[in-house]
Amino acid sequence: SNDKKQEQENFRIGMQEMQEEREALFGFTEDETKAWGHGGDDAAQQLDTNHFNSIKEARDNRNNHLDNKEEYDHNNHNFSHLSNDGKNEIRMVDVGNKSITQRIAKAESKVILPPEVLSEFDVSAGDLIGPKGSIFSTARLAGIMAAKKTSDLIPLCHPLPLDKVHIDITLQNENEILIECECRVTYKTGVETE
């Protein structure tokens, strides 16, 4: 149908615009661009249109969420963790004047396991079981611990009083693992890194 074709064309154009913006912002070399490419138009069309639209909406609205010039200014290419005085000194962003608000970040990833990896585990009740027990339980615990230690692991990241970290791991089909994470904080800065 024409609506579907127009939606796919809008999606392709949007992906191209995001790629061009990313390349302009970070100055990727041609080799880097090829190495990190999405695999051509066919692969781009297979991506979830709703996911693309949510990214586009967030990017369109991002300037509404910037409280001051301490934040990244996309138009001037100022980076929040580098000083703007021409010296490019590394600094931690000052969030002292920001309001305390509830912030939520969600992320998901899909892991596709090859048969040789799957053959090393038993599958029971939607979980992979190894010699020492549940693989998914261990992964959830590791994810929660990593979220709690983010400011120790990533330089210049603010330590946050996390309200919630929830990790859901499900086995889909025979070889796909869907990992979903939600972090919530009531604080002056975001929780997207966690």
Span 126-178, pLDDT tens digits: 899 999 999 999 999 999 999 999 888 888 888 889 999 999 999 988 889 99
Q: What is the 3-state secondary structure (H, E, C) of the chain?
A: CHHHHHHHHHHHHHHHHHHHHHHHHHCCCHHHHHHCCCCCHHHHHHCCHHHHHHHHHHHHHHHHHCCCCCCCECCCCECCCECCCCCCCECCCCCCCCCCEEEEEEEEEEEECCHHHHCCCEEECCEEEECCEEHHHHHHHHHHHHHHCHHHHCCCCCCCCEEEEEEEEEEECCCEEEEEEEEEEEECCCCCCC
Cα atoms in the Cβ-side hemisphere of radius 13 Å centred on 182: 7
In sequence order, what are the residues at sequence separation of 6 or more whose Cβ sits closer than 8 angstroms to the Cβ of residue 47? 11, 15, 38
In the predicted structure, residue 75 carries a pLDDT above the cut 70:
no
Q: Which of 51-55, 161-165, 186-190 has the lowest mean pLDDT?
A: 51-55
pLDDT value at residue 46: 47
Look at 66 and 25; give whichever has higher pLDDT: 25
Q: Would you tell me how many other CB atoms lie within 10 Å of the CB of residue 104?
A: 13
Residue-averaged pLDDT of the chain: 77
Rounded to whole angstroms, the Cα distance separating 70 from 36 reads 30
Phi first, then psi, for residue 112 (nearest 5°) are -105, 120
Rounded to whole angstroms, the Cα distance separating 158 from 144 reads 17
The token duo for 106 is 């969600």
Output the pTM of the full model: 0.56
Rounded to whole angstroms, the Cα distance separating 155 from 92 reads 9
In sequence order, what are the residues at sequence separation of 6 or more whose Cβ sits closer than 8 angstroms to the Cβ of residue 144? 165, 167
Please answer whether residues 181 and 104 qualify as being in contact, where contact means their C-beta atoms are separated by less than 8 angstroms.
no
